[in-house]
Amino acid sequence: MSAADSAREAAAALERCDALGLNATLHWSAELLDAQAAAVDRRAAAGEVLPLAGVPVAIKDNIVTADAPTTCASRILEGYTSPYEATAVTRLRDAGALIAAKTNLDEFAMGSSTEHSAFGRVQHPLDAARVPGGSSGGSAALVAAGAVPAALGSETGGSVRQPASFCGVVGVKPGYGRVSRYGLVAFGSSLDCVSVFGRTVEDAGRVLRAISGPDPLDSTSLAAPPITPGPAPADLRGVRIGLPREYFPADLDPAIRTALDRVAGAVRALGGTVEDVSLPHTRYAVPTYYIIAPAEASANLARFDGVRYGLRRIGPEGDVRSLYRATRGEGFGPEVRRRVLVGTYVLSAGYYDAYYRKAQRVRSLIAHDFAEVFASGVDLLLTPTTPTTAFRAGERTEDPVAMYLADIFVSAVNLAGLPAISIPAGRSAGLPIGAQLIAPAMGDERMIEVAAALERMVSAVAEVR
């Protein structure tokens, strides 16, 4: 299939998603798709090797593109177009991919349901009354709806793996530093990762191969080669999988427990071993994350001041304080304001030691738990991705703590900077369940290969109880 044919198919699929009211896209253009496809076909005809030739990839709208707006789903950046492009996007173009759409998200990636977008919530592709997860819900929904085979999202505390689980697709968070953050609008700089959704593990792996690798424009990128997973192994003999008991509490949804039992059974059927392990500081992951991430956000979002770019409003006093108050008060939504206020508080004089410094110490303990388990000879960890299936829209918006607990099984990985992947593991009452594999540092390739082997063995659509 030519890139032109692929572009037409992608445009038709995006039109169908829009007609269904999915609200997963914030910007896309058939004309832009056609122009990209024509350029890719010319390059291919000239003999250029393009590993992603004509593959449409959607981009979360907090990753900057030079030919389409980047709003972060916020009024404060409505209509803003970046003068430069993210390294991940440039590498996709270099590989021949088509940038299909900019996708909806929780404003500035702050949320777990994609209900906190200034441009309306994203609907779950299987049940319009439910959420697709967040904050990368638009990207997950487009892949699940079949509009694109892959999409970029971003992870700060599980924002790709959690919606991947809710929507029944694959979500890969690479190890911190394996993919350049250049051009990703910063939320929590020590946590943020450009991450990938795919219909299959292979789809996600192909995109990750294209976008990963060192980047001189990002001082936190690792001097390591691109992530290049091999084919799924025929068996898992010699592979030790740990089941952290803290991720399987007594009140875990029985259907999710059954689905994970099936995945563990698939590991054994392929010749691998499964054993219980412990990550004792896991219970502190959510409160630790919700101190560190808002603290970093309060610093990163200070640049949105109404002076240099984006929305500009001046209050009645007419001075600079009035400018800041009016611009941020009108431009930021309630969840962003809440997190900036929390972050400013925990960094303030008198509270820094009590909250932020203590959270950083607990973060070290969480990372140490993972390091000890992997040092014991365990190759990967297997856990549920989420404690529930997709919840109903509006169910948690008035209770921020309940919303934050949707990330209870994913946020520790970001604090430790490790790679992790969510794969579909069945359905409960028609709603997808995800299983998560967590790898040690620099273990991205092996993790993806094992996930591909399990993907062949575990039905993504089988009902479990």
Helix 3-19 vs helix 137-144: angle between axes, to the nearest 10 degrees? 110
| Three-state secondary-structure class, residue 48 | coil
d(CA 24, CA 123): 8
Is residue 278 part of the annotated active site? The answer reads no
β-strands 98-103, 431-438 pairing: unpaired
Distance of CA 336 to the CA centre of its chain: 18
Q: What is the H or E stretch that residue 267 is in?
A: helix 254-269
d(CA 96, CA 88): 13
Distance of CA 24 to the CA centre of its chain: 15
Buried b (16+ CB within 10 A) or exposed e, 313-343: beeeeeeeeebbbbbbeebbbebbbebbebb
Q: Count CB atoms within 10 A of the CB of residue 376.
A: 11
Q: Is the distance from CB of 305 to CB of 313 less than 8 angstroms? A: no
Residue of 6, 112, 136, 159 marked catalytic = 159
Please provide the DSSP assignment of 146-210 as one string.
Answer: TS-SEEEEEESSSTTHHHHHHHTSEEEEPPTTSB--TTBPPSSTTT-EEEEEESSHHHHHHHHHH
Residue of 74, 112, 135, 136 marked catalytic = 135
Is residue 159 part of the annotated active site? The answer reads yes
Is residue 60 part of the annotated active site? The answer reads yes
Tell me the residue length of the chain.
Answer: 465
Structure tokens belonging to residue 392: 């109903």
Q: Is the distance from CB of 141 to CB of 396 less than 8 angstroms? A: no
Residue of 60, 82, 136, 195 marked catalytic = 60
d(CA 54, CA 204): 15
Active-site positions read 60, 135, 159
